[in-house]
């Protein structure tokens, strides 16, 4: 555990400081997420500097919330922040045994890169390879572009 100036307890994994969230798998939901259609929505916000905020939600077949989380990531650009958010969350789902999912992000450019329509910029090419390798392992069914709208 790491304590930051704001007094929140955070867990650090792979260089990412995340808030400690209750783990829904400890409450018997572990098998639900790996069966049926699962959609993971990722988003990241980068406002210059070296830090970006990332968040994700995982929804099941009936739009029920299965998991959510957020964290702080190091990034040098908006596209790098979005890619790191996807990689980190896919890695979390891999550890949970999740397979056959669809990944959504609000970065249309990143979706086009992951679908092979655009070439990845040099500064995220290694990260894109990591994401595509994880996607093969997790049997990702597709990359979708979504927009964030206020309700």
* Residue tagged 């980190």 (tokens): 88
* Domain of residue 140, CATH code: 3.30.420.10
86 within a domain of the structure (yes/no): yes
Give the span between the Cα atoms of 124 and 148, in whole angstroms.
Answer: 24
Q: Which two tokens stand for residue 16?
A: 């990412």
Q: Are 13 and 19 in contact (CB under 8 A)?
A: no
3 within a domain of the structure (yes/no): no
**What is the pLDDT at residue 69?**
81
Give the span between the Cα atoms of 72 and 50, in whole angstroms.
Answer: 10
**What is the pLDDT at residue 36?**
61
2 within a domain of the structure (yes/no): no
**What is the pLDDT at residue 128?**
96
- Report mean pLDDT in 10-residue bins for the chain, 151 residues: 36 49 36 61 86 85 82 87 91 85 90 93 94 93 74 41
Q: How many domains does the chain have?
A: 1
26 within a domain of the structure (yes/no): no
Helices (H) and strands (E) in the chain, counts: 3, 8
23 within a domain of the structure (yes/no): no
14 within a domain of the structure (yes/no): no
Q: Which two tokens stand for residue 131?
A: 């994401």
108 within a domain of the structure (yes/no): yes
- Determine the structural domain holding residue 100 and report its residue range: 36-145
Give the span between the Cα atoms of 9 and 1, in whole angstroms.
Answer: 6
What pTM was estimated for this model as a whole? 0.72
* Residue tagged 């679908």 (tokens): 115
Give whole-number Cα distances, 72 to 32, 56, 82, in Å. 28, 12, 12
132 within a domain of the structure (yes/no): yes
């Amino acid at each position: 555990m790491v304590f930051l100036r704001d007094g929140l307890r955070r867990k650090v994994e792979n260089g990412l400081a995340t808030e400690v969230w209750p783990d829904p798998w400890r409450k018997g939901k572990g098998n639900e997420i790996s069966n049926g259609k699962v959609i993971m929505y990722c988003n990241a916000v980068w406002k210059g500097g070296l830090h970006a905020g990332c968040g994700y939600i995982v929804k099941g077949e009936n739009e029920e919330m299965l998991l959510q989380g957020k964290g702080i990531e190091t990034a040098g650009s908006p596209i790098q922040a979005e890619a790191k958010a996807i990689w980190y969350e896919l890695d979390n789902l891999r550890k949970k045994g999740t397979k056959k999912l669809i990944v959504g992000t609000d970065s249309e450019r990143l979706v086009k890169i992951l679908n092979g329509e655009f070439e990845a910029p040099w500064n995220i090419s290694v990260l894109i390879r990591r994401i595509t390798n994880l996607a093969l392992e997790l049997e990702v069914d597709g990359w979708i572009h979504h927009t964030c709208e206020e309700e």
